[in-house]
Structure formats: C-alpha cells, structure tokens
C-alpha cells in the first residue's frame, strides 16, 4: 500500500527534517518505503536488481525534492508510488520484446499442466513472465492502472490519486487493460495450464 503509515503532519515534519539534512528522518522514511517499493518493483519487473535500481532512483528523487516539499499539498506515499510506477513501466517497456510463447529452455521445459504440476515454481515463474510480457505491450497508463490494481492491490481512489486522474478514468483504464491482457494471453493459456474444462469444451 502506498501509505507509509505516517500521519500527514508527521510526514510533513519528516520532510522538513529531511531538507535540513537530518539523518534520522531519512532513515525513518527509508525504513518504511524501501521494502514496499522493492515489492512493487519485483512484482512488476520480476527482477530484484532492476527493482533495487528503481527503489534507489525513487528515493534519490525524494531526497532531492525535500527542500521544495509543500506541507499539506501531497502525501509522501502517493508521490513516491507515482515515481516508482512510472520508472517500472518505463523499464518494462524498454525490455527486449519477447513473444508470449517464448520460454527459456524451450516449451518442453514447462511442466505438463495435465499432471498436476501447475503449482510448481517453474510454472508460476512462467505465468508471471507471460503476464509481464503482455503488460509491457499495453499503453503505459493502462499498464500502470492494471499493475496498481491487481499486483499492488490498491483501491481505485488510491490509484486515482497516484495517477492524478479521476476514479472513473481509473476504472476505464483498468477494464481496457484487462481486456487487452486477456486477448494477448489467450493463445498461450493452454501452455500456461489455464485452460479449464469449460474452455476446452
């Protein structure tokens, strides 16, 4: 969740202390934000090193803007999530595009979904990779809305604040993004062990 858990007044006071170079303020903010931002990065990118880069870059921007922080104007969590999700989306889209059917080691490397192996780590990793590949192909705003809603579990009002749009726009972006994801992933549902009896009928 984007709320780092500080009341707004305490958050503003921390930012003022940060601007004066108080190392305890930086440590408090980092302790709350780093684990959450790292989770956002790894869930969106599936890569720890890239996620760490995003955490570092996001907090560097927070440190730099501390002197210009306007008390009562914004929440730290909202601001930080906006920066981080933008950075993650940029990275996702810069990756070498992979076809959804591409599987490291070949298709035979996937466990056979018919033999109850769908829960293995390999299948899980492959499903996650397929989702990220499809996410990377979406328009950036759709990808952000879908990731914040379904990977981060944020509410529509929280996403609206982060993306600086209305709640209805969030609903629209999420719905269109989900439809586009489903269309892109439909051809490889069977390979990912997602074909239900109903689908096969």
Partner 1 sequence: MTKPDPDPLAPLFDAARTEGDRLAAGDLSALMARVLADAPVPPARPAVWRRFAAVLADLAGGWPQAAGLAAAAVAGLMIGTFAPAPVALLWQGPAVQAQPADLLSDYDALLADG
- Which residue, 71 or 166, is less far from partner 1 as judged by CB? 71
Interface residues toward partner 1, by CB under 8 A: 18-23, 26-27, 30-31, 34-35, 38-39, 41-44, 46-48, 51-52, 55-56, 59-60, 63, 66, 123-125, 127-128, 130-132, 150-151, 178, 181-182, 185, 189, 192, 194, 196-199, 201
Task: Check: CB of residue 147 under 8 Å from CB of residue 87.
Answer: no
Report in angstroms how near the CB of residue 117 gets to partner 1 at its nearest.
Answer: 14
Distance in Å, CB of 147 to partner 1, minimum? 9
Least distance to partner 1, CB of residue 105, Å: 17
The least distance separating partner 1 from the CB of residue 168, rounded to whole angstroms, comes to 21
Closest to partner 1 by CB, 120 or 172: 120
From residue 116, how far is each of 113, 128, 194 by CA, in Å? 6, 18, 12
């Amino acid at each position: 969740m984007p709320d780092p858990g500080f009341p707004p007044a305490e958050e503003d006071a921390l930012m003022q202390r940060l601007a004066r170079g108080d190392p305890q303020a930086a440590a408090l903010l980092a302790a709350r934000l780093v684990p959450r931002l790292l989770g956002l990065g790894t869930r969106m990118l599936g890569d720890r090193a890239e996620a760490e880069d995003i955490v570092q870059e996001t907090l560097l921007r927070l440190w730099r803007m501390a002197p210009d922080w306007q008390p009562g104007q914004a929440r730290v969590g909202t601001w930080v999530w906006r920066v981080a999700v933008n950075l993650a989306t940029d990275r996702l889209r810069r990756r070498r595009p992979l076809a959804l059917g591409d599987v490291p080691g070949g298709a035979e490397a996937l466990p056979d979904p018919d033999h109850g192996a769908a829960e293995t780590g390999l299948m899980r990793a492959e499903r996650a990779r397929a989702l990220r590949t499809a996410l990377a192909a979406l328009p950036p705003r759709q990808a952000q809305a879908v990731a914040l809603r379904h990977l981060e579990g944020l509410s529509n009002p929280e996403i609206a604040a982060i993306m600086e749009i209305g709640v209805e726009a969030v609903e629209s972006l999420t719905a269109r993004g989900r439809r586009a994801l489903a269309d892109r992933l439909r051809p490889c549902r069977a390979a990912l062990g997602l074909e239900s009896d109903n689908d096969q009928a």
